Amino acid sequence: MHFDIDEKNRLPEIRTDAYRILVKGKFTPASLRLHIHGKRKSYPPELRKSIERTWDLAREEAEKNGWSLYNENLFSLMNYQVRAGTLNLLLGETDYKELLGTNFSLPQEKKSCDEKLLSDGVAVCSAIITKDGFLIVGRRSRQVFRGSGKLHVCAGHPVPDRVLTIQGMLNGENFFFSEMKREVMEEFHIPANKITRMVCLGVVRSHLSRKPEVLFQTSVKIPKDKIMALYDTAKDKGEHQEILFVESAQAPLIEFLKAYHQEFTAPGLAAVVFHGAEQGFWTQSA
């Protein structure tokens, strides 16, 4: 990560090779449109065998170390486009086994030459800002399969079997926003009525795994001292071994990023950088 000065507006400029920016903007539930066609990618026979071998080895490793690992259906990001201020995401089907066996396992040269080989199971994550102006960052627990010990923000995978409900469709819910709210509620036990604002800030790809992530920014009307009391009773408390609060202001966030950027997951870092850029603390180069 590099910090320079943007000569155009004299703000700090952040550059990082941890992720690639696919989309940058500000999108509400009405301007984030999700198009589902149900198509599933097909893989060459040898790659399919490799996916199965990778999954078998991962299950053995998870069982040996007491990590949480299970397969579930996911949405695959097939395409994206911003048109007339609306972010359109075309979603197919995949699962965690395919994500692990392609995005997380294929050699970098194969990922670079043919993205059709990637599962591209899409995740969501959000920077959460407390009522008194602190950003919440968690250190991933030793129980999780990937990213153990890494710094991350609130995150999860929208699961088709869970989010595509008849009631939700009748209500016209944007299920990526609904899923992000559910993650905030389950990871930190923050009630839905305490979420005052949620906005989508864009989409990135991790340079390491090429995995796509939809980024959000969430404001809650709870101060940081009460967040920990809620967190102690959260359903998914075990996902983090430590919770950090960083003042959401230019100088404290820059000092925090300078000290800890190498300890972040790529999407977690992206969520923090996008948040700071949206707040006008800095700019970021694509």
Query: How many CB atoms within 10 Å of residue 63?
Result: 10
How far apart CA 270 and CA 99 sit, in angstroms, is: 20
Whole-model pTM: value is 0.93
138 lies in which domain range? 2-284
User: Which pLDDT belongs to residue 158?
Assistant: 93
For the chain, what is the domain count? 1
How far apart CA 217 and CA 198 sit, in angstroms, is: 6
Local mean pLDDT, 10-residue blocks, the chain (286 residues): 80 94 97 90 94 95 86 95 96 96 80 77 97 96 79 93 70 86 93 96 94 97 94 78 95 96 96 97 87
User: Which pLDDT belongs to residue 108?
Assistant: 63
User: Which pLDDT belongs to residue 250?
Assistant: 96
- CATH code at 197? 3.90.79.10
Q: Which residues of 246-268 are buried (b: 16+ CB within 10 A; e: fewer)?
A: bebeeeebbebbeebbeebbbbb
10 Å CB burial of residue 103 (0-12, 13-18, 19+) is buried
Residue 244: name the closest of 235, 255, 233 by CA: 255
CA–centroid distance for 133 within its chain: 21
For the record, the structure tokens of 109 come out as 């040269």
User: Which pLDDT belongs to residue 6?
Assistant: 74
